[in-house]
């Protein structure tokens, strides 16, 4: 496979993940994960089942989910695997008015099966953004 085509395919999936996040579409996000998906979030391991259980209630608790992803890099690891990495900056408002802002790195390992790219592994760290007074 042409490396440029692979990069474009994975980039499209990263953009779909961003769209699912910002539209609070938990199912759309889950559709981009393989069932064996695991991730370290702030040093804590989570599984596909954890995301499936927690993301729907989490997304439903939000008023807005704004996130900017910058410095996106896609690194092909052959024809069936690729890494995406970016820096995110989140600004999340819960329905109770609580504002949470954080920034940090995100890395996904993408795997292609039957022509579909989905995430098999991830790592993300959230660092609070201190509000200036």
Each residue's pLDDT tens digit, 18-41: 999 999 999 999 999 999 999 999
Q: What is the pLDDT of residues 56-84, one digit of tens each?
A: 999 999 999 999 999 999 999 999 999 99
Confidence of residue 133 (pLDDT cuts 50, 70, 90): low
CB 64 within 8 A of CB 52: no
Q: State the Cα–Cα distance between residues 73 and 45, nearest whole angstrom.
A: 24
Q: What is the pLDDT of residues 79-125, one digit of tens each?
A: 999 999 999 999 999 999 999 999 999 999 999 999 999 999 999 99
Q: State the Cα–Cα distance between residues 107 and 84, nearest whole angstrom.
A: 6
Burial (0-12, 13-18, 19+ Cβ within 10 Å), 99: exposed
Domains and CATH numbers, the chain: 3-128 (3.10.450.50)
Q: In the chain, which residue ranges form alpha helices assigned H by DSSP?
A: 3-22, 26-30, 48-60
Task: Give the pTM.
Answer: 0.93
pLDDT at 131 over 80: no
């Amino acid at each position: 496979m042409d490396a440029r085509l692979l990069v474009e395919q994975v980039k499209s999936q990263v953009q779909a993940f961003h769209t699912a996040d910002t539209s609070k579409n938990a199912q759309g996000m889950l559709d981009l994960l393989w069932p064996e998906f695991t991730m370290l979030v702030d040093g804590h391991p989570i599984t596909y089942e954890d995301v499936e259980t927690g993301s729907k209630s989490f997304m439903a608790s939000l008023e807005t989910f704004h996130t900017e992803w910058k410095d996106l890099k896609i690194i092909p690891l052959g024809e069936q695997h690729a890494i995406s990495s970016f820096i995110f900056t989140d600004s999340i408002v819960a329905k109770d008015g609580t504002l949470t802002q954080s920034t940090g790195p995100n890395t996904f390992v993408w795997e292609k099966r039957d022509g579909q790219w989905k995430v098999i592994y991830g790592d993300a760290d959230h660092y609070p953004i201190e509000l200036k007074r």
